[in-house]
Amino acid sequence: MDSLLTLLIDGLNYASWLFIVSLGLTLVFGVLKILNIAHGSFYALGAYAAASFVAWSTGVSWSPWISLIAMLLAAVAVAVVVAPAVERGLLRFFYGRDEVLLVLVTYALFLVMEDLTKLIWGANPYFVTEPYGLFSSVDFGSMSYVGYDFALWGLAVVAGLVAWWALNRTRQGKIVLAVIHSAEVASSMGVHVSRVYTLAFGAGVFLAALAGAFTAPMISVQPGLSVSVVVLSFAVVIIGGLGSIEGAAIGALLVGLARSAAVHLAPAAELFVIYAVMAGVLVFRPEGLFQRIQARKI
């Protein structure tokens, strides 16, 4: 029983941060129709920025709880500084072009940002341990788990609910949905489509950086961090369906639980099982589990 509970909790821990990353990726695709290969780099920037912000807040001898605010501010800083520069300075020139070209552009951006993080933070790993010890342990039966992991569950739930509410229950969200349905029609109705693109891309970058910032205390922040993240997040959105918040949630749960089962039962199959789940879903649902219905143009 304890081993089954551990498997479940580990899977949910993994799925929580992966859902936040994938939520940003599926939002960007839903609005801008871009498969953003550089999305993992924004995750890595959030992790590095959080490491720097937490180190600074610790150095000035403030309350340890300030480190949580520092991680949030790190994600905001990445979104505010990086997102407008990338969207306005690069991606805007390629809207409406061939999808393969956009993939190549974002891949080139990914390579540039990989080298940029090395130039800024170097090649040595960073460890952000202070926030991880702020939450007391939680006991389930004879097993004890770190409370920070459960706080990350809450963050994932809040991020998902806020994103769903913002898209479906606010005026701005209705405008975004109109752009998703047809940017041309929305523009003819007076919607500032380029502004919607900038805000949506900024939200996607923020979610990626938020996941990176709040997983930084759980990992070693080092070069190469973005590679595995972008592969996993693409697996999640492909399983769930590109552009679907519900699909990102289900896809993250499937990937997280499958990986946890492999780690506990067959460690050699850890990477294989994720792609096996993705392939199994695509066999029966090539468009993903929750692909949005596309309007037919006549």
Could you tell me how many helices (H) and strands (E) the chain has, helices first? 11, 2
* CA 241/CA 276 separation, integer angstroms: 16
Instruction: Flag whether the pTM goes above 0.85.
Output: yes
* CA 58/CA 73 separation, integer angstroms: 15
Query: Which own/partner contact pairs does 110-117 have at CB distance under 8 Å and 24+ positions apart?
Result: 110/37, 110/38, 110/40, 110/41, 110/226, 110/230, 113/38, 113/41, 113/44, 113/45, 113/226, 114/41, 114/44, 114/223, 114/226, 117/41, 117/44, 117/45, 117/48, 117/223
Does the structure show a pLDDT above 50 at 259? yes
* CA 71/CA 52 separation, integer angstroms: 9
Pull the structure tokens for residue 76.
């905001």
2-284: CATH topology: ABC transporter involved in vitamin B12 uptake, BtuC (1.10.3470)
* The pLDDT value given to residue 233: 93
Does the structure show a pLDDT above 80 at 108? yes
The percentage of the chain sitting over the pLDDT mark of 70, rounded to a whole number, equals 96
Does the structure show a pLDDT above 80 at 143? no
Does the structure show a pLDDT above 70 at 292? no
204-244 confidence digits (pLDDT tens): 999 999 999 999 999 889 998 999 899 899 999 999 988 88
* The pLDDT value given to residue 19: 96
Residue recorded with tokens 């006549």: 298
